[in-house]
């Protein structure tokens, strides 16, 4: 199948598929006319990449995961270690996002939301009234 069909099936753009090829995650065959031709195993690889991206893995991790996936002699401990490191990073980012939401919630609760120009949200972003934030620097 051609790249347009592979893109349609996987939900990726042709540009992303070519990018994954450039990174070595995928190797397509070439038809006599020079067009890229994809097989079922290429679609499997693209679906694998899509699922890994959905779980938040970066391209370096996806390269490693793809390599491990293709290696039938791999120790599962390497895969688990990579997954556990990613879980720790995700949990750390989630905690940071929750902290950011809590700070913004405090500012939003302080805002009257009326027709007056006073706005604790903007003041907090400026650095003047956000509880727990650093004082405004010149």
Q: Cα-Cα-Cα-Cα dihedral of 14, 19, 21, 26, to 10°?
A: -80
pLDDT confidence of residue 103: 93
Cβ(11)–Cβ(49) under 8 Å?
Answer: no
pTM score: 0.77
DSSP calls for 13-45: -HHHHHHHHHTTS---EE-TTS-EE--HHHHHH
Give the CA diameter of the chain.
69
pLDDT confidence of residue 89: 97
pLDDT confidence of residue 128: 53
pLDDT in tens, the chain (138 residues): 999 999 999 999 999 999 999 999 998 899 999 899 999 999 999 999 999 999 999 999 999 999 999 999 999 999 999 999 999 999 999 999 999 999 999 999 999 999 989 999 999 998 854 444 444 343
């Amino acid at each position: 199948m051609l790249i347009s069909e592979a893109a349609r099936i996987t939900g990726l753009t042709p540009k992303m598929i070519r990018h994954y090829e450039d990174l070595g995650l995928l190797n397509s065959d070439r038809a006599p006319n020079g067009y890229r031709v994809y097989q079922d195993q290429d679609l499997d690889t693209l679906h694998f990449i899509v699922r890994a991206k959905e779980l938040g893995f970066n391209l370096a991790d996806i390269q490693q995961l793809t390599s491990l996936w293709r290696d039938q002699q791999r120790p599962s401990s390497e895969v688990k270690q990579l997954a556990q490191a990613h879980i720790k990073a995700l949990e750390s980012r989630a905690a940071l996002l929750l902290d950011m939401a809590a700070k913004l919630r405090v500012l939003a609760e302080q805002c009257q939301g009326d027709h007056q120009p006073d706005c604790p949200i903007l003041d907090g972003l400026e650095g003047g009234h956000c509880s727990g934030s650093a004082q405004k620097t010149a």
